[in-house]
């Protein structure tokens, strides 16, 4: 059950970081940090999706 809460927190971070990158995109481009932030956002999204996949797999197997 704790993993579900952590996964929801990760999705919250994806939304928060995505909002930050969208709102500050021009400033991040000026200091050449935009690519790093988009990469971090993409990695966080992949980690969240992988966590969701694992949780669904465990539920189907009856482990949770």
Cα–Cα distance, 48 to 14 (Å, whole number): 8
Q: Is the pLDDT of residue 1 over 80?
A: no
Q: Where are the beta strands (DSSP E) in the chain?
A: none
> To 5 degrees, how large is the angle CA 48–CA 8–CA 3?
80
Residue pair 48/14 in contact by the 8 Å Cβ criterion: yes
Residue recorded with tokens 């956002």: 41
pLDDT tens digits, residue range 7-60? 999 999 999 999 999 999 999 899 999 999 999 999 999 999 999 999 999 989
Return the domain boundaries, the chain.
35-64
**pLDDT class for 64, splitting at 50, 70, 90?**
confident
- The neighbour count for residue 48, using CB atoms within 10 Å, is 19
């Amino acid at each position: 059950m704790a993993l579900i809460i952590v996964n929801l927190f990760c999705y919250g971070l994806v939304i928060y970081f995505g909002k930050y990158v969208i709102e500050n995109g021009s400033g991040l481009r000026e200091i050449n940090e935009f690519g790093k932030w988009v990469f971090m956002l993409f990695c966080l999204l992949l980690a969240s999706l992988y966590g969701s996949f694992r949780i669904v797999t465990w539920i189907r197997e009856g482990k949770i």
